[in-house]
Structure 1
C-alpha cells in the first residue's frame, strides 16, 4: 500500500464501475444465429450449382459465404468469451477476443481474395464454358438471402468491431452476388464467358477493401493506439488547463475493446490544491467531452515526491532546444527519460 497516497486520498481513482454497451449480447446472438442458418443452407446449394454451371463467380461467392459463416461463428464464440468476468491474470476479462475475431475475419477476406484473383486471371486468359441461365438464377436468389442475412446482423450491435466484421462479410457478399447477376446476364445475352472472371475480380476488390479495414482497425487496438477521433495531446492540454493543475504526464489513451476507450495519467496539483476536486472535474470532463468513462488518474501534490516529470523536472534549469525537458512554444516539454509521452504544463496565461 502506498502510504502517501493513502493519507492524501489521491492515488488511483477509477471512473464509474458499470459500462453500457448497447444492444444486449443475447439479442446479438439471436440475430447472428438467424443469419448463420440462412447462409449455411444457401451456401451448400450454391456450391453444387456453381460446379454444374461451371461458374467461378458462383464458386467464389460460395467460398465468400463460407468465410461469412466462419465470421459469424467466430463472432458468437468471441461474444461468449468476452462476457466472462475478469479473473486471475486476465484483468480485463476476455474482451479482446472480439478484436481477435475481427482480425481473423479481415485476414480471411484478404487471403481468399488473393486466391480468387489468381483464378480469375487464369479464366480471363482461357475462359471455360459457363451456363449463364443457371448462374443468373442462383445469383438472384443469393441477393435475396444476403439482404435477409444483412438485415439480421444490422439488428445486432454494430459498434462492436466483431459484429461489424461479420456485417462487412455479408455486405461484400451482397455486392458480389449483384456483380455475378450482371455477369450472368452478359453471358446469357452475348455469350461472353469472360464476364464471369470480370465479376470475380470486382468481388476481389471489395473483399480487399473490407479486409484491409478490419485488419487496420483491429491492429490499432492491439498496438494500443488512441481511438480514432481522440487526440491524446489535445486531451492532455484540456486536463492541464483545469484549476490548480501544474503538470500532466504519463498520459495514455487506448481501447480495451470496441466502444470502450480508456485513459490513465499522472497529474500534479499545486500545493494546497484540492486533489479530490481536480480528479472529479477531470473524470467529468473525460466522460462528457470524450466518452471516456474508464479513467485512472493518479493525482498528487507538487513536491510530494522527486520523481522525474515531477518536482525535479519542473525546478531544473531549461534544457537546450531539442533536449529532454526543453520547453516548446506551447509550454509542453519533450519526454523526460522516465516519463512516457509528452509532459503537459499550463501556458503562460493560464491559472
Structure 2
C-alpha cells in the first residue's frame, strides 16, 4: 500500500529578493542614462579624431546602453506576478536578458578584432589631442556607471552581465587614453588598434562565461554547488526515517532561485508530516533550497527501484 503526500512551497519563490530587485532596477536605469548620453559624445570624438579605440569604445557603450535597457526591462518584467500562463512568474526573463547581453558582448568583441586587424594593415591618421580628452571624460563616466552597478546585487546574472559591459567600457577608455598619449608623443598610430585587440581579448572571456552560464540555466541545469546524488545520499543519512530517494530533480529558475522535486519513501510507522518538515529544513539550511515539491510514499516492503532516464535513486535497506 502507498500513501502519497505532496508538498509544495511557493511563497519563498515569489517574495525572494524583492528589495534587491528594486535596487538593481534603479541603479541599472541611472547607469543606462549615463552611458547612453556619453556614447553620443564619444561617437563624435571618435569620428573627429579618427581613433578606432574611441569608436570601438563608443560601439561598446552603445551595446552597453542597450544591454542596460534590456536589464532594466528584465527587472521590471520579472516583478510581474505569476498567472495562469506563467505559473513560475516572469523571473526567467532576467536570464534571457543576460544571455542576450552575453551574446552581444561576444559579437562586439568580434567586430573590434576585425576593425583592429584592418587598421593594423592600413593605419589611419589619428588626432591624439581630441582622442585623449574624450577618453578621459569617458573613463570618468564609466567609473560612475561602474560604481552604480557595483552597488547592486552582483549574484544576479543580469547585473553581472551589465557589470562586465561597463568593465569593458572602462578598459576601452583606458586603452584609448594610453593610445592617445603614445601617439601624442611618438606618432606611432598602430598602438590604437593593438590596444583594442588587448581589450577584445579580455572581453571575450567575460562574454563567453556569461553566455555559458545563462545557457546552463535555460537548459534546466543544476546549481554548481549541488550534486543531486550527493544531496540524496546526505538526505538519507541525515533523516533515518527515509528508506528511498528517487525521481530527484534540481534546477535553476534564476541564478538565485534553485528549485527541487523528488519522491521519498518512508517506513509505514513514521509520520509523513514530521519527515516532510525535517526534509524542508534540511534543504533550506544545507543547500539554500526554499522552493520544493516533495512526494512522500509509504510502503511496508523494502523498495528496489530500477534506474531510468529520470533516475537518481537510493536502494532502501531492509526494514
For this structure pair, what is the TM-score category when the shorter chain's length is used for normalisation? over 0.9
CA-CA distance at 1:27 after TM superposition: 2.9
Runs of 4+ in 1 over 4 A off after TM superposition: none
Instruction: Tell me, yes or no, if the aligned pair for 1:102 and 1:161 is still in contact at 8 Å.
Output: yes
Offset from partner CA, 1:218-255 (integer Å, 9 cap, x none) = 01101111111111111111122221111101111101
Which residues of 2 match residues 131-142 of structure 1 at below 5 A?
131-142=127-138
The corresponding residue for 1:280 is: 277
Structure 2 CA distance for aligned equivalents of residues 154 and 258 of structure 1? 17
Gaps of 5+ in 2: none
1:150 aligns with 2:146: yes
Structure 1 CA distance for aligned equivalents of residues 106 and 89 of structure 2? 29
CA-CA distance at 1:176 after TM superposition: 1.6
Structure 2 CA distance for aligned equivalents of residues 20 and 89 of structure 1? 21
Offset from partner CA, 1:131-171 (integer Å, 9 cap, x none) = 12221221111111011001111222222211221111111
The corresponding residue for 2:315 is: 345
1:170 aligns with 2:130: no
Offset from partner CA, 1:253-310 (integer Å, 9 cap, x none) = 1011130011110101122222211111111011001110011110110259xxxxx8
Q: Match for 1:213 among 199, 202, 209? A: 209
The corresponding residue for 2:123 is: 127
The corresponding residue for 2:83 is: 87
Structure 1 CA distance for aligned equivalents of residues 194 and 74 of structure 2? 36
Q: Match for 1:195 among 181, 191, 197? A: 191
In terms of fraction of residues, the more helix-rich structure is: 2
1:297 aligns with 2:294: yes
Which residues of 2 match residues 326-337 of structure 1 at below 5 A?
335-336=307-308
Structure 2 CA distance for aligned equivalents of residues 340 and 238 of structure 1? 19
- Relative contact order (C-alpha < 8 Å, sep 6+): which is higher? 2
Deviates more, 1:144-153 or 1:179-188: 179-188
TM-score of the two chains, using structure 2 as the length reference: 0.93
Instruction: Tell me, yes or no, if the aligned pair for 1:243 and 1:278 is still in contact at 8 Å.
Output: no
The corresponding residue for 1:42 is: 38
The corresponding residue for 2:268 is: 271
Alpha-carbon spacing, 1:188–1:346, altered in 2? closer, same or farther (3 Å): farther
The corresponding residue for 1:238 is: 234
> May I ask how many residue pairs the two structures share in their alignment?
316
Instruction: Tell me, yes or no, if the aligned pair for 1:50 and 1:59 is still in contact at 8 Å.
Output: yes
- The structure with more radius of gyration: 1
Structure 1 CA distance for aligned equivalents of residues 300 and 122 of structure 2? 78
Alpha-carbon spacing, 1:23–1:159, altered in 2? closer, same or farther (3 Å): farther
1:15 aligns with 2:9: yes
Alpha-carbon spacing, 1:22–1:190, altered in 2? closer, same or farther (3 Å): farther
Deviates more, 1:85-94 or 1:12-21: 12-21
CA-CA distance at 1:346 after TM superposition: 5.7
Instruction: Tell me, yes or no, if the aligned pair for 2:228 and 2:312 is still in contact at 8 Å.
Output: no
Gaps of 5+ in 1: 305-309, 315-324, 326-334
CA-CA distance at 1:17 after TM superposition: 1.5
The corresponding residue for 1:60 is: 56
Structure 2 CA distance for aligned equivalents of residues 298 and 184 of structure 1? 66
Output the aligned Cα RMSD: 2.0
Instruction: Tell me, yes or no, if the aligned pair for 2:99 and 2:210 is still in contact at 8 Å.
Output: yes
The corresponding residue for 1:101 is: 97
